[in-house]
Each structure stands twice: as structure tokens, then as C-alpha cells.
Structure 1
Amino acid sequence: MSEALRHRPAHAVVIGGSIAGMLAAAALTPHVDSVEIIEAHQLPDGPEPRTGVPQAVHIHLLQTGGAEAINDLLPGSIDLLQAAGAHRIPVTTNMVIYSPEGWYRRWKRATHYLLTASRDLTDHIIRQQVLKDPRVTVRTHTRAITLLGTRHQITGVRVRAADNTDVDLHADLVIDASGRASRTPQWLSQLGITDLASDHIDSGLAYASRFYRAPVPTRGWPVIGVQADPSLPRPGNAGGILPIEDDRWHVSLMGAPGGQPSGEPGAFASFARTLRHPIMADLLQHAEPLSDVRVTHSTANRRYYYERLTPWPEGLVVLGDSAAAFNPLYGHGMSVAAQGAVALRDELTTGLLPGLARRA
């Protein structure tokens, strides 16, 4: 038997049914016998809102590296997304963006692209592919409450079901993909692993977002955006319109402290009119609102430096927002999670050898 097979883990547990969690499961399935996903809420059957994802109401895009990472883990994903209505936007060929230096130059030959769709659709396409693998199961309405094991070796996770009963799930590998609400820092502290360094940078940016019925078919429609100008003597504000499935526009407006958008429907278009250029406000005059306005203030950047901890227990890996969460303004979150899952898969090619968790 090869070294890889001798050390092949039998069972993995993934905390969180998010995109990061689903992609982690996709990374694990070629290397384990079974994967169990622990999810605190119910997972929808179709492209519908998933409880516990407040950022889903704001504009989402996949950068080229993220889209290709997902396609690497789940072949055919890009085609499935586009067939379901996602838009492939060449960068910067089909982008109408007003920056502090003026309009983006729209290059004719693009080397990169964006995929734009609702977060609900992207979630659904990924979830559908991952869960059709019989090696992957999900425990819904279940919360992870602590890690099992020692400061040197994690052996599983204790979970609490909806009826308040606790169950110990033993695993050869535990992946924390629970997002911004991750409890791993506290769980490590309970095991005697302390002094976790972190960075936290909060610009105070607030988002207000809304879905619209576009006044024209959106196939071939560009990304529209007005960026903030830091040289102006006022709180920065910005906005973007993304074409998404079903001939809709997903619109987000952003404002810094002292100039944040509100959740009042009547104030949405008025705030768009305060941007540095009227293009968004003018376009919205011709579109039909399809949803209420949703506001989010949880936009801080936060990174945990787990790689600096000594010791780091075998059998535990942290992925996605659990490790590093970004201001949505950058459009990096899903792409970073996807590339993290690819990195995990690549580390697993030699089996669950000592040091894998540290390398990952």
C-alpha cells in the first residue's frame, strides 16, 4: 500500500454550509471516504435565500481566479452558471466605471473576466453539484459548540442539534468554514492555544442594496460603477449595478461614516443622485424596484494569523471568512474561499500526513 493510502483519512467534518464549506467538501471528496457538513440552518433546494448570509442581498461577483478555482474543483460550474443566467463580463471591455481618475479605459482584448449573478444562484449551482456526491452528507439545524481533542490533535467536533441534544462527531480532519461568526479562536483558547494575532480594519462603510427589473434585456449589459474620490471634502460614497439572471439589475450603494445610505426605499434613488456622476441615478429612473432596501454595516476587514500559532493542532484547517474576511467593496470573498479550497485539495494529494494542517 502506498504512503498516501496508508494515511488516507476516513472521515472529515466541515463546519458551515456556505460557499467556503461546500467548496471545502468538494476539495475533500477525492481524498476521504465521507464528508459531513454541519449547518446551523436549513439549506434551500433551489436558488433561494439562505438564512445566515446577510451579505447575499448585496452585489456579488466572481473574479477570474475565483471562477476558475470553482471550475477546477467542480468542472462545468462556469457553464452551469452562465446557462442559469449569470453574466460573463470581460475586464475592462464591458465595464463602465467612473474612478477618481476618470472613466476606466475599455480594453478591446480582455485577459480577465467577472461572473455576475445573485449570490442565491451561485450558492445553488455550487451546492447542487457538491451534494449530488453520495460521500457528502449535511446535518442541518445543527451548531458546532466545541472542538474535540487536544492542543496537538483535533479528533472531531461536538455539535448541538435543534432539540438541544449534544453529539460528538469524530473526524480525521475538521474544516472550519463557518464564516465571520467563527468560534475557532475561543475553541483554541479552551485547548490552551492562546496569543492568536489578528488584524481588524473597519472603514465604517455601510451598504444599501436593492434588486430591480431592468428596462431592457441585460444580455451583454456592462457592469456600471461610480467610485468614491478620497480627495473630496465629504464622506466617500460609491455604487454599482451588476446585471444578473432573469433580466435583473443588482444595485448596491455604499457610504462612509457621516454619509451612509439608509434603508428607506424612497431614499435609495436620492442617495444614488449624490454620487460623483449621475449615471446610476439616471438608469434607476427607468427600472422597476423588485425588493426592499437592505442595509449592512458589517463590512470590516479581519484576518486571523493562525499560521503564527505554536503549536498548531493536527486535524484542523480554517478556510474562507473564518480565516480572513474582507470588506465586500473589494469583491474578493468568494474568490479567496475558492482558491483556499483548491490549496487544501492540493495539499491532500499526498494524504493526511503529519503537518498537513499547518501547511494548509
Structure 2
Amino acid sequence: MTDRLRTSTRAVVIGGSLAGMLAAAAVKDGVDTVEIIEAHALPSGPEPRAGVPQAAHIHPLLSGGADAIEALLPGTIGQLVASGAHRVPMTTDMVYLSPEGWYRRWRRNTQYLVAASRDLTDSVVRERVLKDPRVTVRPHCRATGLLGDAGRVTGVRLRGADGTETELSADLVVDASGRSTRTPHWLAELGITGLPEDRIDSGLAYASRIYRAPFSTSGWPVVNIVADPRRPGGAGSIVPVEGDRWHVSLFGPPGAQPGNEPAGFEAFARGLRHPLIADLLAGAEPLTDITVTHSTVNRRYYYERLDAWPEGLVALGDSVAGFNPVYGHGMSAAAQGALALHRLTSGGLSDGLSRRAQRAVARPVGLAWSLAVGQDIHRPDVRGKRPSPADRLLHRYVSRLSRTAGGSFRVATALTEVLTLQAAPTVLLRPDVLLAAAAGPLRPPVDGPMFTEGELRLLREAGISLTAP
């Protein structure tokens, strides 16, 4: 069955994930209706959604992504905070051990992150998108192919839960199906081949668990113990999320990966470069089992480099690039891609839009890709690419910037702007930043984790002792 008689314009979004919802928000002002094709049922509230295998792990929303979501769906960040999410100023409310040492908690801050469970973030965005009567969802349905030819995509082939095959016409198809995307295969079916692709695998695995914090987490800092990629060892994070809970993730390379046994999880945390996370968890109550994931491959399709690209098709989010989730850039890059798509479609659909949109989506993807891969290629077990002399030189410069940031607000601000996807890496080559890096830190290094007097009081009241530096 084909619904070819249409009197209005329609966009079809493949996938009801965060990227799919943001894609719907992006294009709804440029068409009459948007239909989201979702393989599973969507929960009605902040509950786990099938098809999000990494939802059990920490999902910070960086300010670059949060600002993009706010531009697409005004009021979203306020609703997240009202629902229990934390707006964490960087680096003011971060206890952060970089490969070069402890960061100073600057009282001034220019960027932030939104700390919440993935379930809550998905739920709030989904609620705001589906309030619009122009946006509907077709659940328990899978896209199995594209309609059209190499010049223009005109819709999608669908298969329902009962196996029924249908065709759905569309003026625009947005693939937001994630890492399981079939777009490269579908393009080949249309005669478009030669798609460039990169896969870079650091070999990292990570394990996560949620704890009841021993006190209110309002204003409590994010804790990060970062591995030094030049030496063997793991990393870990504690992110305060809604409900006075701590979301804890531990990461490790081949041969030193965390497991799913509670005793091993705690022992792994104590064996990090600093035992701070283990110290804190000693006073917390486990609420969930431990979830382990080995899928941390960086994978990117360079759709923007193809000589031919069909009108009526755009790929977004993990369908374009999936990043090592250790760096927390996936949601933010997808949000920025959706905002770029919105800017091109808000006035309606036009010829040449799809190629322009795919190139626009590639820009935030490129920044997040350079940040993730720029770290992973220096790991000894990496597969897919080895660092070039230029990569090594850049890595040494960034390491110097990171060391300088511990005692220089100017450098800390520049690094934070890049890491939150608010600025291109060229910011780090500004004359003032180059001079600051040459001069080095203006203050002496911090010799241990920095906590405020109020935070130390909470720890003492909870009976938590910190290991002396």
C-alpha cells in the first residue's frame, strides 16, 4: 500500500531516540506534518527505552548541546532542572583530575553541563516535542529501505510488528536511527557507493552503577578521575543526578577493564590514579546492578564527501558518527546538528537543501570527532589509526594547555569552551592562549581534590574519610 495522494508536505524521521525527537523539532516548522518511525514503544515518562543500550551509563549534556536544545525547544533546560537535573558550572563545581594534575575550581565560569539520567533527559525532550500536534509517532514499526532514486528520496519502506510491508511517501526523510543505521546500505541500493568511513577503537570498556548519595546532591560537584593515555590504568566519574543519586561510571582499557561484580567494581575504583571515587562510594548505597559495555568504538560516515547525495534525505546523530561515550559528546553533537538542520528548513524545503544540511550537520560532528579521536589514537591498544607526528605535536600542546589550566583562568576557559562544543579548537591557537601556554600556570599546582568547607562538612557528617594525598 502506498499513500501517494498528499496535499501537504511531510517529513519522516527514522528513530524515536533523543536525536530523532530533536530532528522532529528541527523540521516541524518547515513542513506540515512530521511522522516518527520507532521500532519500539515509547515510555510515557522517565523510564528506560528499548534501543538505547548505553542508557545505563552517564550522559552529561554539555552546554553546547544544552544551548542548542534550548534554541529548538525553549524551556527544556528549565524543565529538566525543575525535574531534578543539576546545572553544573564548569569548572566551579567539578573535582577534576586530568592527566596533568588536579584542576582548580574557578569561582567564575563560562560553561556548564546538565547532569541527569538519560531516561529523564529523553523524557523531557520527548514530552515537549510530542506536545506539537504536527508531530506523531508510529511505534512498533521499522524502516526497511528508501523510496526514490539516486537523485531524490521520496519516502521509506516500512515493516509493521505483524510483518505487513507498506510505503510511506515523504518530502524529507531524516535518518536518526543511531549506530544501527542502514543508510550506507540503502544508498548503495540507490547506486550511491564509495562512502568514506572511519572506525577507531580504543578498546575501552566501562561499567556503571547508580547509588543513593549519603546527602542531598544539590550543588554537589561532578567528580572526574581521568586516565593518562600514556600509561596503563582506568578512569571514573561520579555525576549527581535527580533524586539525590550518584551515577557512577568506571572505564578501563584491555587487560584492565571493570567487571560487573560489586567487590570488583569497588576495587577498580580504589585502584584509579586517586582513590577519591572509592572513598565517596564507601558512604553511598547501591541502588542498581552493575552494567558493563564494551562498545566504545568511534565510527564516522563522511556523507558530506560523497560526490552524489539525494535530495530529500538527511542523516543525523549517531547515524552519522558514534563517539566513544567516555567523552560525553554524543547528545550534544546531535543537538547541534539538529539546530543546524532547523536553520535550513524553518522557512520550508528547497532544492539543494539536503546536501547543505548534511554539510552543516558535519561541522559539530567534526569537532566532537576531533576531541574523541584526538585522545583515543594515543592509547597503546587503539585499532584503526595511529597518531602521526602532527597528532603527537598537537597532543603535547594540549597537555601543556591542560597543565597550564590548573593555574590560569584564561586557559581553563578556552579549554572548557572547546570541550563543551561551544568553540572550535582554533580558539586554543589564539595569541593570548599561546602566550599563556608558553608562560605556564600562574598559580602553584593543586596537590589534591578541592572541596569547599560546606562539602567537607557533608562528608564528615556522612562519616566519609578521604584518603590523604
Q: TM-score range by the shorter chain?
A: over 0.9
Contact 1:9 1:352 in 2 (8 A): no
The structure number with the bigger radius of gyration is: 2
Identity of aligned residues (%): 67
**Could you tell me how far apart the structure 2 residues matched to 1:68 and 1:337 are?**
12
State the SS of the aligned residue for 1:211: strand
Q: Which residue of 1 aligns with 2:349?
A: 352
Shift of 1:225: 1.1
Q: Which residue identity does 2:148 align to in structure 1?
A: G
- Give the number of the structure whose residues are more often helix, by fraction: 2
Flag structure 2 segments of 5+ consecutive residues without an equivalent: 1-6, 358-469
Q: Deviations over 1:199-224 (max 9, x none)?
A: 11010110100000000110000000
Question: Does residue 46 of structure 1 match 2:79?
Answer: no
Q: Which residue of 2 aligns with 1:58?
A: 57
Alignment of 1:1-360 (within 5 A): 10-232=9-231, 234=232, 236-360=233-357
State the SS of the aligned residue for 1:55: coil
Greater relative contact order: 1 or 2 (C-alpha under 8 angstroms, separation 6 or more)? 1
State the SS of the aligned residue for 1:203: coil
Q: Which residue identity does 2:350 align to in structure 1?
A: L
- Give the number of the structure whose residues are more often strand, by fraction: 1
State the SS of the aligned residue for 1:129: helix
What is the aligned-residue RMSD (CA, Å)?
A: 1.1
Please give the TM-score of this superposition, normalised by the length of structure 2: 0.74
Q: Which residue identity does 1:112 align to in structure 2?
A: Q
Shift of 1:137: 0.6
**Could you tell me how far apart the structure 1 residues matched to 2:247 and 2:276 are?**
15
**Could you tell me how far apart the structure 2 residues matched to 1:264 and 1:155 are?**
50
User: Number of residues paired by the alignment?
Assistant: 351
State the SS of the aligned residue for 1:186: helix
Please give the TM-score of this superposition, normalised by the length of structure 1: 0.96
Contact 2:176 2:318 in 1 (8 A): yes
Q: Deviations over 1:166-211 (max 9, x none)?
A: 1101000000000000000000011110000011101011010000
Q: Which residue identity does 2:166 align to in structure 1?
A: V
Contact 1:175 1:319 in 2 (8 A): yes
Query: Which contiguous aligned blocks of 4+ residues in structure 1 show a shift greater than 3 angstroms?
Result: none
State the SS of the aligned residue for 2:55: helix
Shift of 1:263: 1.5
Q: Mean alpha-carbon deviation: is it higher for 247-256 or for 260-269?
A: 260-269
Q: Which residue identity does 2:14 align to in structure 1?
A: I
Shift of 1:267: 1.4
Flag structure 1 segments of 5+ consecutive residues without an equivalent: 1-7
Shift of 1:349: 3.4
Q: Which residue of 1 aligns with 2:438?
A: none
**Could you tell me how far apart the structure 2 residues matched to 1:149 and 1:231 are?**
50
Q: Mean alpha-carbon deviation: is it higher for 171-180 or for 326-335?
A: 326-335
